[in-house]
């Protein structure tokens, strides 16, 4: 099982992830896309990456606004897996920005 990061480590890592916030209990980013179709396209791409990594974010879709929450449920906190997934989410969102 992966180790949960300390509050300081999460804070340090979030400095390199603009738009993300959180603490050792979970990290979150909300993005607004141009349309509902774009929001669904981003979620679909994130779902494919999540399956590839076997690490799945919580996703909330509200019209064209999507919120991603990453936490390693089995570890009960944020691990390096969550930070890696956050970077992949950022890349996908950036392609639709």
Element (H, E) at 60: strand 58-62
pLDDT digits (tens, 9 = 90+) for 1-60: 689 999 999 999 999 999 999 999 999 999 999 999 999 999 999 999 999 999 999 999
Structural domain boundaries in the chain = 7-95
Structural fold of domain 7-95:
Gyrase A; domain 2 (3.30.1360)
Global model pTM greater than 0.85: yes
pLDDT tens-digit series, residues 57-97: 999 999 999 999 999 999 999 999 999 999 999 999 999 86
39: left (phi over 0), alpha (psi -120 to 50) or beta: alpha
């Amino acid at each position: 099982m992966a180790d949960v990061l300390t509050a300081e480590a999460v804070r340090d890592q979030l400095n390199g992830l603009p738009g993300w916030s959180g603490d050792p209990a979970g990290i979150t980013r909300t993005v607004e896309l141009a349309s509902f179709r774009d929001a669904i396209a981003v979620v679909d791409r994130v779902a494919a990456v999540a399956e590839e990594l076997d690490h799945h974010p919580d996703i909330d879709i509200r019209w064209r606004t999507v919120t991603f929450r990453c936490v390693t449920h089995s570890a009960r906190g944020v691990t390096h897996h969550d930070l890696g997934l956050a970077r992949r989410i950022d890349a996908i969102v950036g392609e639709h920005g």
